[in-house]
Structures are given as structure tokens and as C-alpha cells.
Chain A
Amino acid sequence: MLKYQSQAVAKPYFIAAIGLFVAQILFGLIMGLQYVMGDFLFPEIPFNIARMVHTNLLIVWLLFGFMGASYFLVPEESERELHSPKLALALFWIFLVAGALTIVGYLAVPYATLAEITGNDLLPTMGREFLEQPTITKIGIVIVVLGFIYNIGMTILSGRKTVVSVVLLTGLVGLAVFFLFAFYNPTNLVLDKYFWWWVVHLWVEGVWELILGAILAFVLIKVTGVDREIIEKWLYVIIAMTLITGVIGTGHHYYFIGTPEYWLWVGSVFSALEPIPFFMMTLFAFSMVNRRRKDHPNQAAVLWALGTAVTAFLGAGVWGFMHTLAPVNYYTHGTQLTAAHGHLAFYGAYVLIVLTIISYAMPLLRNQGEAAPAKAQNLEKLSFWLMTISMVVITLLLTGAGIMQIMTQRMAEEPMSFMAVQDSLATFYWLRVIAGLVFLVGLFTYIASFFAKDKAAPMATK
């Protein structure tokens, strides 16, 4: 069923991604409970450890997803086998084992001990948000990513070069280059923060959007049959807007960390335009599906693709815009509103694009033909709605909590203390835990979809 046999290396990457996704959500639920039952699992798993596991697992499983997506789509775009399927498999195991050891390290010993035994004193890079990995793990990530880019790059350069594959490669190279700033950790906190954003912002509001756009374009070409020329033109315009707004849009992180005042203006103006590429992505996805030349049997993949565009626009675009202007951000900076935006943006843009390519590719990788059985697709669609609606509810609850927090802690004449405010938000946090449980049900439904068979099939049960 696969056009190129080497595309099969994508399968373990996708399976690992889904497995780590489950673990990520379990730790999210632990944190959700710790918000309302402060001593839950204390002192065995303090909040900071659970959070680090939650966010690091997210990053790692999305990287697994991006890699799987690349190994799947690049041979097809390049019209040749992958440069080295063996290298791809070797890097898979290295990345999985290194990732697992890092997570075990987080959970098994105190973080300070982990820093000590992994030699953080030699090149201190740990203990910064999202970059908590031991330095040795960071070096491992660089090696894995370089090997991966070499493999993908060799395949693209010696095969047919399409806009999709070249944009994807550009995004991946950007990912590798900006990660190098993770190794720069000056003593001056202001400098540290300034360049920390070169990893974090230039990833998620920069080069990752190129990867997102390329994967979305690939899936839309496949499921709509619309002329590649049209889709590629859209892709160029969208990612052009991404970079034009998003690169200098980094300035919306430079309001209150010690950087000059002009960033209040520069950051506000450019980041206010950041929803544009996401809005265009929504128009793009719907217009391609409306102009489809065929009805692809994998309708679940179409739903994931449309869902990605809409939810990314809501989470990254609308919820980002809500607090991106400096006078607003002065009151919202570092509140639950930030958490609300982070959740829906990451889910909408990056979780959903990985699930989109998995949905499109898995039936082919599993020799099911172009699409999974109807029953499996129905479960997939159900899981999409369960996860997406519960994530929107989580976002709304955190937004409510954030607004309350801003009013009582930041804007009140007699501001309340942080902890008093947190106590007053318990109702929001309890409801968030419930929505989180619904999300977990959705995730299990998603996994169940891989095991569902139609009644006519020989293995069917009653």
C-alpha cells in the first residue's frame, strides 16, 4: 500500500508519539489535582516535577510526530526511497531511550541531584522553563536532530524537490538552529531570558509553523486532489505572513523583562498581526476541501485537518491576540490567561497537526488501504470532538480563572495576595480537572479507534 517501502519507518515514531501523549495527559491530570489538593503526591512528585514531565513529554512527542511525518511524506514528495531507513530506526531508539531516561531521572531523584550527576556544573543549561533537560540530553537531542535532518535532507536533495518538502526542510533546519540557543545561559537573567525566547518563541511562533504548514499542505493535496500549484501558492503566502509577523512578534515577550521600552510598541504592532497567517490557514483548509476533486475515503483525516486550522486560529490567533498588546499584557502577564492560551494554541496547532498526519498515514502504514474501517473512523471522529471540546472548555475555565485573578490580584484597589486569589479560584480549577478527565476519555477513544474493526471483518466481536 505504501508508495515507498521506507515510509514504514514512520510507524514506530507515530506509535511512540501516541504513547508519550498518554503519559503527558496523565501528568497534566496530576497537576490539575495539585491545583486544588495542594498536597497531592507531595513530596514524592512536587508540582514542578510534574509540570516538567508534562511539558517535556509534549515537546518530545511532538518531535516524534514531526519526525514520523517527515519520514512518511518526504519519500512520497521526493519520489524516491528514504536515504537511510536504518539511520532513521537507529535514531528512533536512541531518541526514545534518551527521552525515557530523562523522564525517569526527573521522577527518580531530586532535580538538584539530577543536575549534579549529569554534570550541569560543567555547562549549566538546566532549570529554565521547557529547557529543563540535563545538558547531556540536550546534546543528545542535537545529535538525533542532525542525523534526522541529514537523512531527510539527502532524500530531498537527490529527489524531486517540491514546495512542501523544501518548506518542511526549512522549518526543520530552523528548529535545529534555534535549539542551539538552549546552550547559551548567561548569568545575567535579562540576557538569559532574551535569548531563551529565541528557542521558545522562534520555535512555536516561527519555524514550527513552517513544519505545520508543510504537513497540512501535504495532507490537503492528498485528501482533496486539488492542484498542487494552488496549494503550494497558499503555503508560501501563509508562511511568509508567519515570518513577517512572528519573528519581530517575539517582541511581545520583551515588554517587562528588562528590555528597552520601544519593544512595547514593536512587539504590540507585529504580534497583533500574528493571527493573520492562522486565519489564512483556516480559509485555506476550508477552501481546499470545498474545491475538492474527489471524496477521499479517509474522512477522519479531513476532519483532523480542518480541526487543526480552526483550533490553531482560536488558540494561537484569538487567544494570543487577547493579551498580546502591551497595555493589556501589563495586567495579564504570567496569569492563568497565559496558561489558557498556551493550552489551546499547542493543542490546536501542534497536537492536531500530528494527529492529522497520523490519521492520514496510519491506514497506509497498517495495510488497511487508503482509510481505516468506518467504525474506526467514527471512533476517531468522536475522539476529535471529545478532546477538542474538552480542551476548549479547559481554555474557557482557565480564561475565567485568569480574568478573576487579574481583577483581584492585579487591578484591585486593595490587591489580594497570590495564594488568597488561588484559593478563590478553586471552582474553576475543579471544573478544569473534570474537563481534563473528559479529554482523557477522548484520548482513550482515539487509541481504541486503532483496534476497531467493521462487523464484516473476520475478527469482529459482537
Chain B
Amino acid sequence: MSEPFTKSMARNIFIGGGLFSFLLFVGLTVDTMERLPERDNRQNITPEVALGKKVWEDNNCVGCHTILGEGAYFAPELGNVYQRLGHSTEAIKVMIKSRPVEGVPGRRSMPQFNLTEEELEGIAQFLKWTSEINTNNWPPNIQG
């Protein structure tokens, strides 16, 4: 019995389709890398911003918050927190500094991370920098 669609045809679709997809994806990635400098606000990555990202990671902030919509959904979006707190890095620092060690009875509360002044400035500058990335107008409103 002649088979209209054979296993080797199926294999060729897998190999050909898979390779083509990866090559196209790599091509799109190269193009994206060329266009990113116009959008990702990299010219404003200062040493404070770099330190801030390190502080962000070392304290696993993404374990509760989202940043540009990615992370955990337990605490507010922080991609636009700079704007939400009135375009103030100082307000971000006060917010982080003021968390009660034992939490708030019955409520979700951010832990007290005991950050140094330098680390606080870093995280605030990192969040300000993040808020200036061109995200195709996301989030839809100030509440994130």
C-alpha cells in the first residue's frame, strides 16, 4: 500500500521546519539587538542603576513583584512605581526603609531588608531607569 504521507516526509518537516524557525528567530534577534539602543534607555545606565539591579536580584524582589509585567503577582508592578509615587526616588527609598520588621497583622507586608543608603539610592535609580524604557505604552495606567 502506498502511503501518501510517509515517516521520512514527517521527519523532513521536523528538521526543516525546526531549523528554519531557529534561523529566523536568530535573524529577528540580531535585528532586535540593533534596534534596542533606541528603546531600552541604555544611555542612562549609571553605576547607581547597575548597583540597583544587583540589589534587586540579591533580595529576590521579583519573588513578590512584577517588573514590566514579569515576576510574581503578590505585590504591585514596579515598572512604573517611580511615576506612581510622584516621580520621586526619595519616596521609593522611604517606602522600602519604613517596612516594619514583624510585618503588619493580617496584611501582606514587604520585609525589612536593612539596605544601606547607597543600596537604597541604587534601587531607586534602577526603578527610575526602568520606568523610562519604551514598553509600547505598557502598563495601561498608573496602577500598573
- B-binding residues in A (CB < 8 A): 31, 34-35, 37-39, 42-43, 46-49, 51-52, 111-112, 115-116, 120, 124, 126-129, 132, 163, 185, 187-194, 229, 232-233, 236-237, 239-241, 243-244, 247-248, 250-251, 253-261, 263-264, 266, 330-331, 333-336, 338-339, 409-411, 415-419, 422
Q: Are A418 and B75 in touch, CB under 8 angstroms?
A: yes
Set B63, B73, B142: member contacting A338, Cβ < 8 A:
B73
- 12 further A-B contacts with Cβ under 8 Å, apart from A39-B104, A188-B40, A189-B40, are A38-B106, A42-B111, A115-B58, A192-B53, A233-B10, A330-B140, A335-B73, A336-B73, A338-B73, A410-B139, A415-B141, A418-B76
Q: Which residue of A lies closest to B102 (CB)?
A: A43
Query: Binding site of B, secondary structure by majority: helix, strand, loop or mixed?
Result: loop
Query: Binding site of A, secondary structure by majority: helix, strand, loop or mixed?
Result: helix
- A-binding residues in B (CB < 8 A): 5-7, 10-11, 13-14, 17-18, 20-22, 24-25, 28-29, 31-32, 35-36, 39-42, 45, 49-50, 53-54, 56-64, 66-77, 101-109, 111-113, 130, 133-136, 138-144
Q: Are A260 and B58 in touch, CB under 8 angstroms?
A: no
Assuming the contacts A261-B136, A410-B140, asked whether A248 and B111 have C-beta atoms less than 8 A apart, the reply is no
Q: Are B7 and A232 in touch, CB under 8 angstroms?
A: yes
State the 5 A-B residue pairs at the shortest beta-carbon distance, nearest first: A48-B63, A127-B57, A334-B69, A38-B108, A256-B138
B143 vs chain A, min Cβ distance (A): 4
A114 to B39, CA, bound (A): 34
A239 CB contacts on chain B under 8 angstroms: 14, 18
A254 CB contacts on chain B under 8 angstroms: 32
Assuming the contacts A188-B45, A243-B21, asked whether A52 and B63 have C-beta atoms less than 8 A apart, the reply is yes
B134 CB contacts on chain A under 8 angstroms: 258
Q: Are B70 and A248 in touch, CB under 8 angstroms?
A: no
Q: Are B72 and A48 in touch, CB under 8 angstroms?
A: yes
A128 to B61, CA, bound (A): 9
A47 CB contacts on chain B under 8 angstroms: 63-64, 72, 74-75, 108
Set A112, A189, A334: member contacting B130, Cβ < 8 A:
A189
A194 CB contacts on chain B under 8 angstroms: 29, 32
A66 vs chain B, min Cβ distance (A): 20
Q: Are B24 and A411 in touch, CB under 8 angstroms?
A: no
Q: Are B25 and A247 in touch, CB under 8 angstroms?
A: yes
Q: Which residue of A lies closest to B71 (CB)?
A: A129
